[in-house]
Amino acid sequence: MRSGDTQTGQIELAGEQLAYRLRISPRARRITLRLAARDGSLQVTAPPTVSRRQVQAFLKSQSGWIAQRRATLPDPVPFAADQELPILGDLYAIRHCPDARRGVWLEPGILNVSGHGDHLPRRIEDFLRSYARQQLTQEARHRSAQLPLDARPLGRITVRDTTSRWGSCSSSGNLSFSWRLVFAPREVFDYVVVHELAHLVHLDHSRAFWRLVKDMKGDFESARSWLRREGSSLLRYGAKT
């Protein structure tokens, strides 16, 4: 198989057909396996010298681990009427208002969605992506006033649907965040913003970097621990029914 190739396949494990995504990497020295928290799919990375048959044999040898990890995945939460979503630390019940003409809007404890029911999941995701971008931009601009004078200027702020990184900072000062942080508690949400802003001064994770995070955020360890412990649960929202 050629370096850089990405392939998909299926394998039967314990009587169930499971999809997997195979990425060929010249840097890989052995086959590695990761279970996607969002949907339970298998993500396999392998060196170019490995054959598809070897990948299948590896997956079968890991069937016990796969079954154990899949059993621990949190239940998916679809964007559907009467479901509850945590939005920055507060619970909101989804209320479908088919005859309303307001799109999607928040009230205390209620996420209202107008329009046809078939469009409800898409409308909710579009709204939450936009809301996450708004809140992240507001928080980043507010917190950037705490940065030292030698910090690089704050650039563009974008949101994406990333699954392995909650935020990133480029050398040009642009920040990118996972929109799914909108489901995290406000303390965790703020910590990720501060973390990425601190990279405008330190592009590494040196002691000086963590000192700056602490200066800006105070006690950040509880938020950092929450993200390590519960972060994968943020990926379960919006699963299809």
Q: Order the strands of the 90-97 sheet from edge to edge.
A: 84-87, 90-97, 110-114, 104-107
1 lies in a domain? no
* CB atoms closer than 10 angstroms to residue 197: 26
| pLDDT above 50 for 173 | yes
The structural domain count of the chain equals: 2
| Domain final residue, candidates 71, 105, 126 | 71
| Mean pLDDT value across the chain | 91
* CB atoms closer than 10 angstroms to residue 95: 15
Q: What CA–CA distance (Å, rounded) separates 183 from 135?
A: 12
78 lies in a domain? no
100 lies in a domain? yes
pLDDT tens-digit readout, 131-165: 999 999 999 999 999 999 999 999 999 999 987 78
Q: What CA–CA distance (Å, rounded) separates 1 from 22?
A: 11
HSE (CB half, 13 Å, CA atoms) of 123?
A: 23
Side chain identity at residue 73, one-letter code: L
| Domain final residue, candidates 47, 71, 95 | 71
Which pLDDT score is estimated for 4? 54
Torsion angle of C-alpha atoms 210, 147, 189, 225, degrees rounded to 10: 10
One domain for residues 53 and 158: no
How long, in residues, is the chain?
241
CATH of the domain at 110: 3.30.2010.10
Q: What CA–CA distance (Å, rounded) separates 109 from 87?
A: 10
One domain for residues 96 and 64: no
pTM of the prediction? 0.79
Query: 6 is written with which tokens?
Result: 């990405």
Which pLDDT score is estimated for 6? 75
One domain for residues 96 and 198: yes
Side chain identity at residue 128, one-letter code: L
| pLDDT above 80 for 2 | no
| Containing structural domain, residue 140 | 84-236
Burial level of 225, CB count in 10 A (0-12/13-18/19+)? exposed
Q: What CA–CA distance (Å, rounded) separates 112 from 109?
A: 10
159 lies in a domain? yes
One domain for residues 130 and 32: no
174 lies in a domain? yes
Cα of 14 vs its chain's centroid, Å:
29
One domain for residues 102 and 207: yes
HSE (CB half, 13 Å, CA atoms) of 113?
A: 24
One domain for residues 149 and 66: no
Q: What CA–CA distance (Å, rounded) separates 228 from 179?
A: 17
One domain for residues 17 and 56: yes
